[in-house]
Structure 1
Amino acid sequence: MEIRKLNSLRGMAALIVFVTHFSDITQWLGGAFGGGAGAYGVMLFFMLSGFLMSYLYLDKDFGTNSVKRYLVARFARVVPLYVLVVLASFALTKFGSDLLYHIPDHQALLGHLLFLYGDSVLWSIPPEVQFYFVFVLLWALAANRRGYIYILIVGCLLLLFFTNFPRIYGDIYGVPYNQFTVLRSLPYFFIGVVFGLHYKTLAIPAYLKKHRFAFVLCLIPLMYPELSPITSDAKNRMWLSYEVLLVMSCVFFCVVFLVPDNNVLLANKVGDFFGKISYSLYLLHMPVIMQVNRFELAVEVKLVLSLILSAACAYLSFICLERPLARAIRKRANAH
């Protein structure tokens, strides 16, 4: 069963990253929407990912065939377009162009293809893929000992907190790796998993389901470093702040559990469109913004042009590459 309002949330996550990078690159409004605040969009992506995996799979029998179908589905959804972008970036970099992303040598290429490291926005794909395998462990626990999932999650959160999120990064024979980005992302996947566990069973009283809870999304810009009334270092630590985790979890909970499914702000065709192209938009918007910024145009014109071109590229990528490749992989896997 599709939860339509999550399409808009996914699209909103991609647009948060887009606006942040546009603000950083062009210094639109003095960079007020930048300062690394695109992290909040990626946090939404990770919570959505954990939620949907939990919602879709934890009630299913755990077995070899089920796990195979799950891994194929997740692989088909994320990996093909990512690999194409990585290979294209490597080829362009070798020819002296950073039109896409900077992947200068075979070691950097291998780091990307092994999901150990990512340049620019590509950094978020290794944590996503690595969590797919962590989720298999959670799924195995859910088969007979679901309660242990909570113990494991709480234990991991405490361990990360008391070890100050270990900075595990470097290179092996020149191949870069960065497990720090994975560790700092885990809490957001875990929160999504916990919410997914309870989505079908948690009985929310009818009087609590209100359309106005959609405005909880306004809390996200209140955490932007240049806009936030918060005076602690939480607004700058972002990924390493459990205060930020609390706020983002509250936002996610309200949207998923308290906002009615037919909310016009979240269940609409515009949200469906941006949700559908969100992955391609996330991977491709940076090169578009960089190219548009070369032109001598008013910054507002650059914003509109960058958004239109990014959405157009993302849509073409979705219909010509992302969706056909995913279907072909799933079809081939099901044929065996």
Structure 2
Amino acid sequence: MPAHRGSGAKRAHEQQDGGIMPSISRFMQRSYAADYAGFALLLVAYTLIQLIVEPFHRMFSLDNISIQYPHADVERVSVVWNIGYAVVLPLFIFLFWALIFRPTAHKINVTILGLAISVMLATFLTDVVKNSVGRPRPDLIARCKPKKGTPEHSLVTIEVCTERSHHTLHDGWRSFPSGHSSLAFSGLGYLALFFAGQMHIFRPRTDLARVLLALAPLIGAALIAISRLEDYRHDVYDVTIGSILGMLIAYFSYRRYYPALKSPQCDTPYPSRAEWASKNGYGKLKDEESRVEGNGDFAVDHLGYDTEQVPLRDTSRERDSERPAGSSSES
């Protein structure tokens, strides 16, 4: 009778393991579905910010010379062109690279996914900060078109503005940080990291041509950022912080899928989640680490690409086996 109950419990456990939720969990663990879902959430959140969120409107003074610059109706690098340079161009290069070199599907997937997450995350965070800070642009007064009789030597609010274009007016309080700069470095910076990894630019005696090719996207991103100063859309502080933010996010996104640039395998992405799950098993991984750590012979560490994997041996047993027969183990 106890055996019958045990077999019934075993069958119930097997049925539970074969249910819907465990299947979904295994699918999420073995694929990049969570990353794609996260990208979709970022896209939805960014869209909602653009549609319903207005920036915080700081008070300003008409005699503030730092916001008296003219408003440029035609930008040197428009939003559309910036998307072309920072998103479409790297994507086209990745697709061209895939056609020429025929990498694995996993490598193509994580490379393009990393670019998409880098761009979307940088754009979302930049807009969140922009709307929260509400810093006036250098051309705010030209956008505002304050009504006559507005006091020049005291702080005033958006209520004195007569500009009827909603976007033109409210965008005047989205100066910090520079969105063009963060987008340019999140996309072109990611491309530069990819070039650096594929060409091993940190390998000893790497030729200068490879280094210059890896630096080219960064130069392009810097020129886009500088154009925002020339159009009086931002000051140096806005552009600098936006550039740093975009580059940090690009590095973060790149390293989620690729090893460090100094690694001998920096051109090869980390194994796919399906491959890792089939070799190690997600459910048993933690138990296996606990079992190995409990042996007390060695500490479990992450053996990355940069580490030299040396076989673990019990040297004390080797010394005992090499001692002459009859000799004492104590000196």
- TM, length-normalised to structure 1: 0.24
Between the two structures, name the one with larger relative contact order (CA 8 Å, sep ≥ 6): 1
> If each structure's helix is expressed as a fraction of its own residues, which one has the higher value?
1
- TM, length-normalised to structure 2: 0.24
Give the greater-gyration-radius structure (CA). 2
